[in-house]
Amino acid sequence: MKEKKDFNISRRSFLKISAGAAALAGVPLPKTASARTEEQLSTLIDLNLCDGCVDRKVPACVSACKAINKDKIPPVVKNIPEPWPRKTIEDWSKKQDVTNRLTPYNFIYVHNAQIDGKTIFAPRRCMHCDNPACATICPFSANSKKKNGAVVIDQDLCFGGAKCKDVCPWEIPQRQSGVGIYLHVLPGFMGNGVMYKCDLCNERLKEGKLPGCVEACPRQALLIGERKAIEKIADERARAMNGFIYGKAENGGTSTLYVSPVSFEQINKTMEKKPGQPDMKPDVVRRMATTDPLGKAVLAAPLLGLAAAGVAGAHNWFTRRKNLVKKEEENND
């Protein structure tokens, strides 16, 4: 019964909070482009404001993200190598329009939960965790946490082994087979494509722009800004709606905070759970304790990296080659 009461309170305070959001939009973001890459940022996703863009075919945040990242994946080879031993080829190239789940071509989607005859909409993408196991476990150091909090996969270094997805509590990174460096090293025996996910629009931040989803949201349900300022706004809004926060402690802390008038236990219980549709389990523990098999895997990861030194050598060769070709092309222009 408590949930119902909280939900009603939040609806009564909706207009007030909405006006507050409009006034706050853009305020906490560091002013200069360099500060946006050097200072710790956080995103706030306000479930009291998001209406799922139900009047549009595709939510504005999703459309914006797709437009920005449309050329991220290079053309997929015709004959994708069969991975050994018996791993599955994951090819989304003919399903690029899918928007109702995360895919390598879709880095954000809007999940929903039906509660007391109303719908709560929850845009989901990478949480940009404070201590991301997905980055720690990567044997090729293809995945890294930036100073501003963005967790970014370098598509030129990724072999698509999907360890990052295994250790992510929400299984966020998504694989596209038939692209990437593995095709030039030991295709079929090592690697299986490239992993893709939200990178917080880090390149746009470097250019002084907002992440596409934040900029596009017509209801200002997404805010990005200096971490402490965002935490303060999240606390204030949660207090005002007698609501709840998600992302502060989950997976050891993240730089994405959700505020909601309904508890995340209730949201998680009622939301549909399918592959590519991350749940919202509260109190998610970081999956890297040394007693955990995954913890052991991470200890082994650098050794795997060393074992792959030969491959890394080949990779360096390809990187150098690629840069040389690029330079040559620039010189010829």
Residue type at 145 in one-letter notation: K
Query: Which is nearer to ligand SF4, 127 or 238 (by Cβ)?
Result: 127
Of 101, 107, 123, 37, which Cα lies nearest the Cα of 273?
101
Site string for ligand SF4, 131-160 (x = CB under 6 A): -xxx----------------x---------
Chain positions 235 to 264 lying near ligand SF4, rule: CB under 6 A, are 251
Q: Which residue has 């190239």 as its token pair? A: 93
Measured from the CB of residue 64, what is the shortest distance to ligand SF4 in angstroms? 6
| Three-state helix/strand/coil letters over 267-326 | HHHHCCCCCCCCCCCCCCCCCCCCCCHHHHHHHHHHHHHHHCHHHHHHHHHHHHHHHHHH
Of 29, 39, 42, 28, which Cα lies nearest the Cα of 254?
42
Contact flag: residue 267 with ligand SF4 (CB under 6 A): no
Chain positions 160 to 199 lying near ligand SF4, rule: CB under 6 A, are 168, 170, 172-173, 197-199
Contact flag: residue 109 with ligand SF4 (CB under 6 A): no
Of 168, 124, 123, which Cα lies nearest the Cα of 143?
168
Contact flag: residue 217 with ligand SF4 (CB under 6 A): yes
Contact flag: residue 64 with ligand SF4 (CB under 6 A): yes
Contact flag: residue 52 with ligand SF4 (CB under 6 A): yes
Contact flag: residue 110 with ligand SF4 (CB under 6 A): yes
Give the one residue of 50, 152, 233, 271 binding ligand SF4; rule: CB under 6 A. Answer: 50
Q: Do 204 and 210 touch, CB atoms closer than 8 A?
A: yes
Measured from the CB of residue 52, what is the shortest distance to ligand SF4 in angstroms? 5
List the structure tokens of 145: 């946490």
Euclidean distance between CA atoms 65 and 113, whole angstroms:
22
Give the one residue of 73, 201, 233, 238 binding ligand SF4; rule: CB under 6 A. Answer: 201
Phi and psi at residue 137, to the nearest 5°: -80, -15
Q: Which positions lie near ligand SF4, rule CB under 6 A?
A: 50-53, 59-61, 64-65, 68, 107-108, 110, 121, 123, 125-129, 132-134, 151, 168, 170, 172-173, 197-201, 211-213, 216-217, 219, 221-222, 251
